[in-house]
Amino acid sequence: MSEPTFPPSFPERFNMADYFLDARVREGRGARAAVKVGGRTWSYDEVLALSNRVRHALAARDVGLEDRVLLLLPDGIDFVISWLGVVKAGAVFCMGNPLSPEADLDHLLGYTRCRAVIAHASVLDRLAPAIARHPRCKVRLVTGGRHEGFEALESAIAGASDRTENADTSRDDFAGWLFTSGTTGKPKGAVHFHHDFPYNTECYAKRVLGLNESDVFLSVSRLFFGYATGTNLMFPFAVGGTAVYFPDKPTPERIAQHVEEHGVTVLSNVPAMIRQMVDEPSLRDEQLRSLRMCLSAGEALPAQLYERWRARGWCEILDGIGSAELFHIYISNRLGDVKLGSLGKLVPGYDAKIVGPAGNEVDEGEMGRLWVRGDSAAAYYWGDQEKSKATFVGQDWVVSADLFRRDGEGYYYYAGRGDDILKVRGMFVSPLEIEDCLAAHPAVKECAVVGALDEEGMTVPKAVVVLREGFAEGPELVAALQEHTKTILARYKFPRIVTFTSALPRNDRGKVVRKDL
């Protein structure tokens, strides 16, 4: 069998549902386990039949090409078949957190101007009042129960055919929106084409991670977040693997239980949960023995946390960075090639450069803003032309908000977001550097560093610290933490202000919301 062309390309008439699902059945994988939820398993044949029925149900309700469909669903089979059904219909998926408050749901309905919504019954107490203000959303389907004004998805698909032709879309038709993390404002919708998602799947999932049909997948992040939509829906389906889902809140015990029960080989994780798992005494090391890799994204993974994980005999963690603007990971560590402190090397199929304030590429080892390009880049941000022009620039470059440096071997090192970098006594300071230093102190469970004004109105580093059990906050500990940073970092970098909290504020993607600190 000949090697596939690289970088990957796709035919002009292209619907990515065929790439992710229909092709598996044509290949003879129809009987393989595609989805597992609790004690129930669905094969690829069954998922294809159900998603075809969703496609018919949407078409029967005049939802089709380029109509936006808002999904507000917990992880599970309903999310999978709804997502695939939307894509098959040629409509555009938008995904929201089903736990969002009414005000956020109201914003999502207005921002997406969706024609249809598919929501779980648990959302309706917050969704029903909001949707009354958005008459454009005429198709309202519900799973997991019944509610006045909503039609049960189960009933809508019951009489529909389980066979269909996918909508005749092109590779450059719009397929879905991915939302930015929203740590500094309302999330923006990055609008993506049908070919964007398969492109990154070929470059990252297959070429870097080497995923295959024997892999069993599980994710800490929920499916509405693009990171998990990739690692726990698109990637498993692209290789004929098995995706494991559970709708309830992830905990260390729950994650370990599913890994052991289902023989999970690929765990999509985030640093906050990695820390919880390492700190959880009830976890038995053998529970995670089936894992061949753990992925980490969303925020930087401290080197000492990686080492604590590995000290328990657990698999390698592959830290990487991706974005809603480029769909998924474009810089990553590899199995057998993890360089502590770095995010690894470029994923094949992507280019990057590090640009200084004057617009020039900086020298090796110097810090600058990361520019990335690859054929998974979004077209623009919905409803924000000025931000789109500043982010999506000439020759297909995506200008990130992230500051990086690159060493002589091609490894990339994250230095923080451009809007997070502090200027202290005329010197630039990366909060991440101070956070990594504080994290090595035995009293610190986790921390975040932001800028604050001292009594003279000068910007200084402020550390917000979550303590481990057995340590008490007070002036003595503040002094000890400050002295700890002074002995490791340049003296001007120590946190002039140290406060304590029981937990850091995080958004629904697990990222620290620094504006709340």
Question: Which strand (E) or helix (H) includes residue 310?
Answer: helix 303-311
Do 293 and 308 share a domain, yes or no? yes
- CB of 327 closer than 8 Å to CB of 227: no
User: What is the structure's pLDDT at 1?
Assistant: 43
Do 180 and 219 share a domain, yes or no? no
7 in any annotated domain? no
Do 408 and 359 share a domain, yes or no? yes
Distance CA 334, CA 320 (A): 9
Digits of tens for pLDDT over the chain (517 positions)?
455 688 899 999 999 999 999 999 999 999 999 999 999 999 999 999 999 999 999 999 999 999 999 999 999 999 999 999 999 999 999 999 999 999 999 999 999 999 999 999 999 999 999 999 999 999 999 999 888 899 999 999 999 999 999 999 999 999 999 999 765 568 899 999 999 999 999 999 999 999 999 999 999 999 999 999 999 999 999 999 999 999 999 999 999 999 999 999 999 999 889 989 999 999 999 999 999 999 999 888 888 899 999 999 999 999 999 999 999 999 999 999 999 989 999 999 999 999 998 899 999 999 899 999 999 999 999 999 999 999 999 879 999 988 999 999 999 998 877 777 787 766 678 888 899 899 989 999 999 998 888 776 677 899 999 999 999 999 999 999 999 999 888 788 899 999 999 999 988 777 888 888 8
325 in any annotated domain? yes
Distance CA 153, CA 80 (A): 13
Residue-level length of the chain: 517
5 in any annotated domain? no
User: What is the structure's pLDDT at 184?
Assistant: 54
- Which letter, b or e, does each residue of 316-326 get, where b requires 16 or more Cβ atoms within 10 Å of its Cβ? bbbbbbbbbbb
Any idea what the CATH number is for the domain that residue 96 is in? Answer: 3.40.50.12780
Question: Which strand (E) or helix (H) includes residue 179?
Answer: strand 174-179
Q: Which two tokens mark 288?
A: 């995670």
User: What is the structure's pLDDT at 489?
Assistant: 86
If one counts the domains in the chain, the total is: 3
Q: Which two tokens mark 297?
A: 């994204």
Do 173 and 151 share a domain, yes or no? yes
Residue type, 396: D
Q: Which two tokens mark 20?
A: 């992710």
Best CA proximity match to 20, nearest among 91, 92, 67, 80: 80
Domain closes at, from 366, 401, 417: 417
Please report, for the chain, how many H helices and E strands are present, in that order. Answer: 16, 27
Do 156 and 112 share a domain, yes or no? yes
8 in any annotated domain? no
- CB of 478 closer than 8 Å to CB of 498: yes
Alpha carbon dihedral 282, 283, 287, 288, in 10-degree steps, equals 180
Strands 351-355 and 345-346, by their bridges, are unpaired
Do 217 and 284 share a domain, yes or no? yes
Range(s) of the domain holding residue 231:
206-375+389-417
